[in-house]
Structures are given as structure tokens and as C-alpha cells.
Structure 1
Amino acid sequence: MDVQNAFLQGNLNEEIYMELPSGLHNQGEHQSKHDYTLFTKQQDMLFINLLVYVDDILIIGNDNKAINSLKTYLHQTFRIKDLEEPKYFLGIEVARTSSGILLSQRKYVLELISDSGLSGCKPNSIPIEQNTKLTSQEFNDSTKSPKEDPQLQDHSKCQRLVVRLIYLIITRPDINYVVQILSQFMHSPKQSHMDAVIKVVKYLKGSLRLGLFLKGNLDLTTFCDSDWGSYPMTRKSLTGFCIKLGKSLISWKTKKTIHSISIFSRGRI
């Protein structure tokens, strides 16, 4: 759903403090403490989730009558356009099939490739080569001199590309590892960092069809692992985990740990 006549570009000269109106709470919706844009309602077997982003609203639930009642209430309060089943939401394409739902950002990737000037480039088969060590030191290894890996004169292009790649992780966990590494050097990127970013974009060109496929199954499985102190500058470990609901990947993360650890277990919940 889309709220009509929402003015998003107003010029404000004062600091504005806002408190959410009580309207949704009157309908039995509870605001999530982990994500303030998410409202949930659950009664017995009924559940409804409502997600708000500025003037865009996404409603998910298991009872069409309750959903229509909520939509009627919203229509009475605001002028809202009902777009029916979502096909495109915040840059994410939603494709429904008989076996599940595919979430992808193909259009977003095409725009990223075009804005990078790489529409005519040859695709890469992998986002980063194995054992690649990126650092902020004067040189990356003993075979390179500082002149071969200079600081970028214009940081903005590299920084802008990495920020766009971070948003792409929403449906592309296959680039999560390399993007979290690149994001550590954005305060002062070097040519080697820019080269790595370009390789990721070339990889995206060759993998446009990839996304997240969600299929109904309630078996929860988790995997996690660590690379045992491989970060070259501090010798800290990189730890990663992923969580699946059935065969659907629903949560994942890669982060640098405070202390080096040997290895995590792998198993089921």
C-alpha cells in the first residue's frame, strides 16, 4: 500500500520530535522493540504483520478478513492506494510461483552496473579470489610497493559503490563476506580496494538471476564457523553464521570477533 500526498522533501529549519499516533495500537497492533517500523498483531491462530517505510506499507497475515478490516481502517485515516500483492518493494522484486516466493534485486543490480560504467565488461565467476588479503597498510604484500597501491584521490566513488553493495546483501548473501571486508576500509580506500569492488560488480553481472527463494517449511537449522585469526592486521577471527527456515535462508552475518577462537560447531536446533 502507498500513502498518497506524502511530502518527503520539505524544508525544515527546526529540530522535529515526533511520537507515533495511537491509531495502530487501537487496532491491537504492537510495535516491535527490535524494529520500530514493524507492527504485529496475534490472537490465537491469527497473526498480522505491518511494515512501514516512510509512505510505503507492507501487510502480511494469515486471515484475509482481518487484513481487509485493517486496510479499511487505514483508508479511513489516510488516503492510501492499495497496490494488491507486492511485486516491487524498496528495490526488491517479489515473484510468486506455485512452489514458493523469489526475492531478488535484479533491477537494482542492473542500475548499479550501469552507474559503474561496467555494462560492457566481462563477468567474473567469483566475487573475490581465495586468500585475498586487503589491508590499510602501506602495501598489501612483499611484492607490492606503495606506488603500486596508491590511495584514491577521490574516495566518493568507491564509498558510494560499497554502500550500494551493502543494501544488496538483503537478497545476496553470496557477497556478504567480501562486502563486510571492503566496508572496513572506506575511510581511506586504496586502489586495491577499488579493484576488489569492481570485481564484485563484475561478479554481479554474471549472476543476475540469483536471489532468495522462500519455501514453506518450519524446520530451523543454523550453521556457524570461524576462520581462526586470519585478519592480517589484528589477527582477529572472522566469524560467520547463517540460519535457515526449511530450505529458505532467513538470517546471516559475518563479523570480526574480539578474540580469536578455534571453530564453532555445526548442527541443528
Structure 2
Amino acid sequence: MVIVRSVVALAASSGWYIFQMDVHNVFLQGGLNENLYMVVPEIMDEALIVVLVYVDDLLVTSSTLVHIQKTRKILKSKFKMKDLGELKYFLGIGFFRSKKGIYMCQRKYALELVSQMGLSGIKPAETPLEFNHKLTSLEFDKEIKPKNLAHDKLLENRGAYQRIIGKLIYLTLTRTDLLFVVQALSQHMNAPKQSHLDAATGVVRYIKRTTGLDLLLSANGELNLVVYYDSDWASYVETRRSVTGNLVKFGEALIS
């Protein structure tokens, strides 16, 4: 998904057109785990054409609409595919262009997650996780013997917890405000406790309050890669290891 964000960020910053196509017979061609880029020889000398292949979907972007149309025509003559027009909805994510750039939105996905968990009528949360809240494993609890040990038992159905975390991980494609708490919750997927489920429920309550948040791939800024890195020293309560994090910006767009 980093590659998709990078290509869309390039199109947003450069003011390029970006179109989407769907390949009908991609699953008949065998397995493919890599991202592919293609250029079309017939028009390569006239304009820069970027074609991103992602599973059975293609993104075609260029500064010239005429050359995009030629590229789409060539691809349709070589492969059986459907022309979906300008990029609007890709891999479950909505894309909306404005003067500020291109917005990536998962509002529909977020609302469905709230509904699936039966939290549509519950009060939203102000933050995704309470301040200074620590998530611990059952083995750690047995050593320090907290007061709520008897009530904070392992979940009988850990699959339900794992599915919730999987959905939250996908939501972080556009919701960077959830990255820290989701990575903390994902560390307990093998042996989740009631406190982990309660924390995950709190995240969904926060999502209910903030379903309108989008990720903007800005149309402004130079196309430079900038990386920020930070380490929270010895903050992991069980092992005293540091928790590290980084973000990568392509111009003004956050891509990773």
C-alpha cells in the first residue's frame, strides 16, 4: 500500500490525471506477490506514463490526458479489462481530489466496523487509548499479581479479537492516529485477555467519533523524501525494550 500512496502522492503533487482499470483474467495468470510498473512503448517518448499493477487493479497516471487515453486503449487491446474512469474507489478506499490534493478516505469501512461490533448506539470515546494505559500479558500479570487478575482472563474466542485487530490494521492505511494503539493491541493476538478486548472496543468507540478523518496527499511541496524516526526508550512494560516508530513523507504527503 506504500507504493499506491506514493504513486497517488506523485499524481497529486504534480497535478497529473489518474485513472483506474480492472483486469478480468488476472487470476488465470498464476500467483503474483510483487508490484509491477509498466511503460507503453508506443508513446513512451511523448510523455511519462506510470502504470501501477496491484493484484487485479491498475492505476494509470500521467500529465497528459491524451496519452493516458492512448495507454488505456493499448492495454485494453492486449488484455481483457474494464475501464473504471478517474480514480474514485480503490481497494476499499475512497479517493477525492480537491485544490489541496487527493484525499484518501475509509469512512464507509469505519462505519461498517462500528456497526458490526454493535456500537452504533454507544457513547463515542475522546481518545483511542487512555493516557499511560499499559497492556500486559497473562504471564506478566501472574508475576506482578494485579488486583483485577481474577477478572482479566484469557478470551475463550480469540478469533473474534483477531478479526477486530485485522480490521483495525486495515483502517490504519488512512488513519495514522490509530497506528500506536493498534500496534500495541496486535502484540497480544495470540493470547488476548478481556482487557485487550476492552481496549479494542475503546478504539472503535473513538473511531465512531472520528469517522470523517481523511489522509491528505497534498498538492503542495517539493517531491523530496523525508524520514522521521523516534524511539520511546524502555517503554515496553514487560521486557523494558524500546518502542520505535518512523514516518516517511513524499513532499507533504505521508506515504508510510
What is the TM-score when the length of structure 1 is the normalising length? 0.77
Name the structure with the higher helix share.
2
- 1:44 CA displacement: 7.7
Counterpart position of 1:120: 121
C-alpha distance in 2 between matches for 1:248 and 1:197: 28
What is the aligned counterpart of 2:253 among 230, 248, 256? 248
Are 1:18 and 2:19 matched, yes or no? Answer: no
Counterpart position of 1:192: 195
Tell me: higher relative CO, structure 1 or 2? Use CA pairs within 8 A at least 6 residues apart: 2
Counterpart position of 1:36: 34
- SS of alignment partner, residue 210 of structure 1: coil
Counterpart position of 1:73: 74
Counterpart position of 2:18: none
Following superposition of structure 1 onto structure 2, how do residues 122-201 of structure 1 map, counting pairs within 5 Å?
A: 122-138=123-139, 139=141, 143-201=146-204
- SS of alignment partner, residue 146 of structure 1: coil
What is the alpha-carbon root mean square deviation over aligned residues?
Answer: 2.6
- 1:173 CA displacement: 0.8
Counterpart position of 1:56: 57
Supply the AA of the counterpart residue of 2:174: T
Q: Is the 8 A contact 2:39 2:49 kept in 1?
A: yes
Are 1:214 and 2:234 matched, yes or no? Answer: no
Counterpart position of 2:239: 234
Are 1:3 and 2:23 matched, yes or no? Answer: yes
Q: Is the 8 A contact 1:38 1:49 kept in 2?
A: no
Are 1:204 and 2:207 matched, yes or no? Answer: yes
* Runs of 5+ consecutive residues of structure 2 not aligned to the other structure: 1-20
Q: Is the 8 A contact 2:123 2:205 kept in 1?
A: yes
Supply the AA of the counterpart residue of 1:39: Y
- SS of alignment partner, residue 152 of structure 1: coil
Supply the AA of the counterpart residue of 1:188: A
C-alpha distance in 1 between matches for 2:210 and 2:52: 29
Using a 3 Å threshold, how does the CA distance of structure 1 residues 85 and 227 change in structure 2: closer, same or farther? same
Using a 3 Å threshold, how does the CA distance of structure 1 residues 44 and 221 change in structure 2: closer, same or farther? farther
- SS of alignment partner, residue 195 of structure 2: helix
- 1:231 CA displacement: 0.5
- 1:46 CA displacement: 4.1
C-alpha distance in 1 between matches for 2:190 and 2:90: 31
Aligned residue pairs: how many? Answer: 229
Using a 3 Å threshold, how does the CA distance of structure 1 residues 196 and 225 change in structure 2: closer, same or farther? same
- SS of alignment partner, residue 162 of structure 1: helix
Using a 3 Å threshold, how does the CA distance of structure 1 residues 44 and 220 change in structure 2: closer, same or farther? farther
C-alpha distance in 2 between matches for 1:18 and 1:85: 28
Using a 3 Å threshold, how does the CA distance of structure 1 residues 100 and 121 change in structure 2: closer, same or farther? same
Using a 3 Å threshold, how does the CA distance of structure 1 residues 201 and 19 change in structure 2: closer, same or farther? closer
